[in-house]
Amino acid sequence: MAKALVDLIARTFPDAIVETSAQHGDETVVLTPDSWKSVARFLRDDPRARLDMLMDLTAVDYPDREPRFEVVVHLYSLTKGHRLRIKARVGDAEGENAELDTLTELWASANWAEREAYDMFGVSFRGHPDLRRILTYPEFEGHALRKDYPAERIQPLVPYRDVPNIEKLAPFGRDEGMPFGRQTHAHGRLEIPSDEPESL
């Protein structure tokens, strides 16, 4: 069923498809960023496609690729019951110029999802009515789900209390609190004596 949709896009927009793939019966079409919105509008309005529901919009960061980000949209047809996944690749190696047309005027559910993709990955959506951060706060620097965002970097809104050893306050002992955490082990701030061999 969805394979027919891929053929339909290929016939209607011969230059729009970068590649296609299928997994477990779910068809994926990678589109050029320029054709992103026109193909999406076609998929929503054409009676053979009628993909009237945008289930999800998100992004994936592939730091070794160029273009670096892949914006993923899952579409579903409530009337016909079929699905299609469309993708577009944007952004250079530094994560700049990651721009794509907004789908907000086609599906209202794209509004917050695009804000989330902007907040977490820094992908800008041209024409979005209100492109602000949605999960983090306006003071947040950088984009948290980019692979080059330091894993231990936090940006507190209120300063931490001015007491000694704020990282591990009493009554927590040296191996209590968060014994497994990256913040205690990766930086060597806390050394837990152990009888177990290193290989564990």
Partner 1 sequence: MGDLISNNSEIVTPGDGQGFATTRLADMLAWAQKYSLFMYPFVTACCGMEFMAVSSPRYDFSRFGSEAPRFSPRQSDLLWVVGTIVQRQAPILRRIYEQMAEPKWVLAFGTCASCGGFYDNYATVAGIDKIIPCDVYVPGCPPRPEAVLDGLMLLQDKIQKGDRRPAVVKPRHDPVDDPGLGLVQVRRSRSSRPSNAPT
Q: Which residues bind partner 1 (CB under 8 A)?
A: 135-137, 144, 149, 151, 153-158, 160-161, 166-167, 169-172, 176-178, 180-183
Least Cβ distance, residue 21 to partner 1 (angstroms)? 31
Q: How far is the CB of 172 from partner 1 (least distance, A)?
A: 7
**Strand ranges of the sheet holding 53-61, from the earlier edge strand across to the other edge:** 17-23, 26-31, 83-90, 69-76, 53-61
SS3 per residue for 64-131: CCCCCEEEEEEEECCCCCCEEEEEEEECCCCCCCCEEECCCCCCCCHHHHHHHHHHHHCCEEECCCCC
Report, in Å, the least distance between residue 97 CB and partner 1. 24
Query: Is cis: bond before 67, omega within 30 of 0?
Result: yes
Q: Closest Cα to residue 9, out of 33, 34, 32, 29?
A: 29
C-beta of 128: minimal distance to partner 1 in Å?
22
**Measured from the CB atom, is 78 or 137 closer to partner 1?**
137
For partner 1, give the closer residue by CB, 127 or 181. 181
Q: CB 122: neighbour CB atoms within 10 A?
A: 20
Identify which of residues 24 and 153 has a Cβ nearer to partner 1 in the complex.
Answer: 153
Cβ distance to partner 1 smaller for residue 20 or 58 = 58
Residue 29, beta-bridge partner list: 20, 86
DSSP 10: H
Least distance between partner 1 and beta carbon 63 (Å): 17
Name the minimum Å distance from CB 184 to partner 1: 9
Of 13 and 112, nearer to partner 1 (C-beta) is: 112
Residue 4 vs 169, nearer CB to partner 1? 169
CB distance 33 to 25 below 8 Å: no
